[in-house]
Each structure stands twice: as structure tokens, then as C-alpha cells.
Amino acid sequence: MNSSQNEVRSTEQVILSARCSNWHYSGKWALIVFLFAGSAGMFLMDGSYFGGGGAAFLIRLAPLLCAAAVFFLIQLDRNRRVYQVTNKRVIMEWGILARSSNELRIQDIRSINVSKNGLPGMIGIGSVEFSSAARDDADVVFANIPDADRVRDTVRSLQS
């Protein structure tokens, strides 16, 4: 990397960073609550969570293991996507082991579309699509993020 690239990177500041909202996973969170309730119900049925031998213990433990697996999958999915707005670009990065990214310079953005649907939309969670004149579809999409309108307004303010 040459010195001019270092100068460009040193002048770039992250204005906003976001991940997918937990509201996007509301069905999975409800499943976790259901599994915990089922596990508690099995405990209350016989009063002894660990009694009854190995097979009974595994049956009682299965809902908790499933809940832990769903929780892990939610966290994995949330951490695989990162959205950033800098003073020069909008960036979408995704991946766990191999990272990929889409970037669009602020000055090249021609349209910003915000879509908010249902209950999450009523509380400000939505998707923001950034498009340039070079393509028909969106170049960068911030999917299911909190404060979608604020992201749009921040990018618009950086353009002027």
C-alpha cells in the first residue's frame, strides 16, 4: 500500500455502523422461549430435573440444547453481516470465514430507498437500498436495520 492510499484511509471516518436487528429474528426468539417453557414444564411435571435415569435426563435436556443451538445460529447470522457508513462510502460486509464486501462511494449514490414493513417497520426497522447510476438494481443493501430513516438521512447529509 502506497502513501496516498494511507492518506485516504486515514481521512475516512466511520459515521455509523449497524447489524441486522433482533426483530428480524423474532420467530426464532419465540422458538427459544417456547423451548425454555417446554423444558420448565418437564421439570415441573415430576419435580426432579435430573432424576429418572440417563434417557429421561437427555429428553429433559433436549429442549435446552435446541434453544442453545437456535441462539447460536441467531448470533452467527447477525455477526456475518456488518453495515457501515463512512464519510466517503457505504459498505456492506458479509461472511464468517471468508469476508466479502460491496462498497459505494457517497458521491456516486443516485437513489436511496427505504422499505419498512409490519410491526418492525412501525418501530423504525427496515431495509435501506443504495443505488448508483451504473446499475438498475441496488448496489448496497442494509437489510433489516434499526433506524433505517436515520441511515438514509445521514447519507443524504454527507452528500451535501
pLDDT tens, residue by residue, 43-73: 776 655 555 556 666 777 888 899 999 999 9
pLDDT at 46: 63
Architecture of domain 84-159: Roll (2.30)
Q: Is residue 103 scored above 80 in pLDDT? A: yes
Percentage above 90 pLDDT, the chain:
60
Tell me if 150 sits within 8 A of 142, measured CB to CB: no
Judged on CB neighbours under 10 Å (0-12, 13-18, 19+), 15 is: middle
User: How far, CA to CA in Å, does 48 sit from each of 8, 33, 56, 65, 153?
Assistant: 64, 21, 10, 18, 56
Cell of 115: 422499505
Separation between Cα atoms, residue 3 and residue 36, nearest integer Å: 56
Range 115-141 average pLDDT: 88
How far is CA 11 from each of CA 14, 45, 146, rounded to the nearest angstrom?
A: 10, 63, 27
Domain ranges of the chain: 24-77, 84-159
Q: Is the pTM of this model over 0.85?
A: no
Grid coordinates standing for 58?
437427555
As a whole number of angstroms, the distance between CA 11 and CA 71 comes to 38
The pLDDT of residue 8: 47
Identify the pLDDT of residue 40.
79
Q: Return the bridge partners of 88, or none.
A: none
